[in-house]
Structure 1
Amino acid sequence: MIVPIPAVVPPGRMGQTDQPVFRLASGLELRSWRPGDAKVLADSCLDPDVQQWNRPGRLSLDDARDRIARWGKRWRSEEAAIWAIAEPRGGSPVGLIGLADFDLDGGSAEFLYWLLPAGRGRGAMVDAVVRVSRWAMDDLGLHRLRITHSVANAASCRVAEKAGFALEGTMRSALLHSDGWHDEHLHARVQGDAWPR
C-alpha cells in the first residue's frame, strides 16, 4: 500500500491570510505593492544593476500596474509572495523582495530581490531576506529556501552569506543574461539552520 506524503504546507495557509507588513531594523518596511507604485516599478527596469542581474525587461506604466495586480493574485493562489521594500509609513519603494517557484507540497521556495540606489548601502537586503525567511519557515512552515545568483554578482553572494544561506555549489551555465550564459551559485537555508546574529 502506498501511503501519501502530506503537504508540508497545507493549502490555504498563505492565500487565506492578508500579506503581512514587516518593519526592518534599517528603518524600511516590507509591504505589498500598490497600484500607486507602478512608476517606481517601471523606472526600476531602467536601473543598470536591476537590468543586469534580474532581467526585468521594460515595463510601461500599464504593464507595471498589471504586474502589481498579478502579484496580489499570486499571493491568493499561493504561487508567490512579493513585497516592496519601502520607506516607512507608506513611503516609496526602494526595492523588491519575494519568494517564487513555490512548492508548498514539498515545502520549498526561491528568493528574488533587487534594490534601487536609494535603498543600497543600508543593510536592508540582508535584513529583508532574514525577515522573509523567518516568516516563510516559522509562520508559513516551509522547510527549504533557495537563493541563486550569477557567480559574477558579488553583492548578491554577500547577501546570501550574511543572511545565513549556506553555499551548496555552482550550477554551470545556468542562466542567460544579456552578456551570455552565467554559472550560478546555489545557496540554501533549511529548517534548523542557525539564524544570523
Structure 2
Amino acid sequence: MPSLVTPVMSPGSINSSSQPSLPIDDDLLLRPWLSSDAGAVARVFQDRAIQFWHLRKADSEDEAQEWIEQWRSGWESESACHWAVVDVDGDRVLGRVSLQSIILVGGQAEISCWTTPESRGKGVCSRAVARVASWALEEAGFNRLELGHSTANVASCRIAEKTGFALEGVRRQALLHADGWHDMHLHARVHEA
C-alpha cells in the first residue's frame, strides 16, 4: 500500500554513520556509552530519586552492562540514540540523555535524561538536553521532539522550559509510578524552518 506522505527521515538517516560525540562548551561531552560505564550506571540506579522517576533499579553491574548494550544497539536499529554525559576528559559519567521511541516517517522522538546525584543543580542536564535537541532538530533531520515528565517532577519541568520545550498539555494518569498513577506534562520542540 503506497504512502501518501514522504517520510521526514528515511531508513539509514541515523545509522549510516557512527554515533557522534557532541561537545558542550569546554567542560562537557556527550559520547556513546562504553562497556566500562557499567559500574557508574549501576551506582546511579541505586539512587532513590532515579528509581522513583525512572521506575527502575540495577541489581548488578552485569544488569547495567545489559542496559548499555541495549542503548548501544538503538543506534544501529534507529530506534533510539543514547549518550553518556561525561566530563570533558570523557571519564566521569555525569548523566544520560537519549532520544527514544523514534518514528522516522514523522521525524519524531521522545527525549529522556537523568544526572548523577552529585551533578544535579549544576546545569548539566539542561545543557545536555539542549545539545541533543539542537543536534536532532538542526543536524539529524528530526521534526519534533517530545519531553514528558510527571507533573510532580518540578526539576524536569524546569529543564523542559529552560531548553525551549513548550508545554502542550497534561496527559492524565499516563504513567504508573511506585506510588500510583501520575499525570504527565507533555512538552515539545519542533524544527523551525
TM range (shorter): over 0.9
Structure 1 residues 24-103: aligned runs within 5 Å? 24-25=24-25, 27-103=27-103
Corresponding residue for 2:186? 186
Corresponding residue for 2:167? 167
Corresponding residue for 1:142? 142
Q: Secondary structure at the match of 1:97?
A: strand
Q: What's the CA shift for 1:25?
A: 3.1
Note the residue ranges of structure 2 that are not aligned, 5 or more in a row.
Answer: none
- Whether the 8 Å CA contact 1:26–1:124 is kept in 2: the answer is no
CA shift in 2, pair 1:158/1:26, >3 Å: farther
Q: What's the CA shift for 1:3?
A: 5.6
Q: Secondary structure at the match of 1:12?
A: coil
After superposition, give the CA deviation of every residue in 1:98-154 in whole Å (9 maximum; x if it has no partner): 000100111100011111122212211111111101111111111100000000000
State the superposition RMSD in angstroms. 1.6
TM-score by length of 1: 0.93
Q: What's the CA shift for 1:179?
A: 0.7
- What letter corresponds to residue 56 of structure 1 in structure 2? R
TM-score by length of 2: 0.95
Q: What's the CA shift for 1:161?
A: 0.2
- What letter corresponds to residue 21 of structure 2 in structure 1? V
- What letter corresponds to residue 178 of structure 1 in structure 2? A
Counting matched residue pairs gives: 193
After superposition, give the CA deviation of every residue in 1:149-175 in whole Å (9 maximum; x if it has no partner): 000000000000000010001110010
Q: What's the CA shift for 1:89?
A: 1.6
Q: Structure 1 CA distance, aligned partners of 2:179 and 2:3?
A: 48
1:129 aligns with 2:129: yes
Note the residue ranges of structure 1 that are not aligned, 5 or more in a row.
Answer: none
Q: Structure 2 CA distance, aligned partners of 1:73 and 1:179?
A: 32
- Whether the 8 Å CA contact 2:26–2:88 is kept in 1: the answer is no
- Whether the 8 Å CA contact 2:168–2:187 is kept in 1: the answer is yes
Q: Secondary structure at the match of 1:110?
A: strand
Q: Secondary structure at the match of 1:14?
A: coil
- Whether the 8 Å CA contact 1:26–1:123 is kept in 2: the answer is no
Out of 143-152 and 184-193, give the one that drifted further.
Answer: 184-193
Q: Structure 2 CA distance, aligned partners of 1:183 and 1:79?
A: 26
